[in-house]
Amino acid sequence: MPMPKLIATDQISWEQDFFDELLPLVSDILDVVTWHNYPLGPGYGNDDLDTDIMTASYHDSFIATAATASKTVKGVSESMEVWMGETGGAYNSGHNETSNAFIDAFWYLESLAGFAANGHTAFCRQTFLGGNYELVDKST
């Protein structure tokens, strides 16, 4: 029977210094490194959110962070996986009529593909129902 995986840290963002210090200490016991990413920033007060979602160079920055995360993890242990433990585009429940609308698919699908291409073996979306970043409109 396979053993359960030891998964940590679910860090709120990729903090390079933190992971540079932590990973060598846990490389022989940790199976998966997880982290969170809300690349579009706060959902409230950002009137440019739809523009950010549609700007390719904006996407490049968070895909580059995914590449850095994978390179860092694999540099410590080839067997250790890296997962996107939680993402939803814009944090604090997103932005109504943007992060819960069709336009949100542009950052989401770009991230899903970009993180997979850069060694992330899981990608957890926050959330399917609820908040202003739901994928399924609960009223329909």
pLDDT tens for 75-104 read: 999 999 999 999 888 888 888 888 888 888
**Burial (Cβ within 10 Å: 0-12, 13-18, ≥19) of residue 16:** exposed
Name the residue among 5, 11, 26, 4 with its Cα closest to residue 85.
Answer: 11
Q: Is the pTM of this model over 0.75?
A: yes
Looking at per-residue pLDDT, the higher value among 102 and 113 belongs to: 113
**Most confident residue range from 33-37, 46-50, 51-55, 100-104:** 33-37
Would you say residue 44 has pLDDT above 90?
A: no
Alpha-carbon distance 55 to 76, whole Å?
Answer: 33
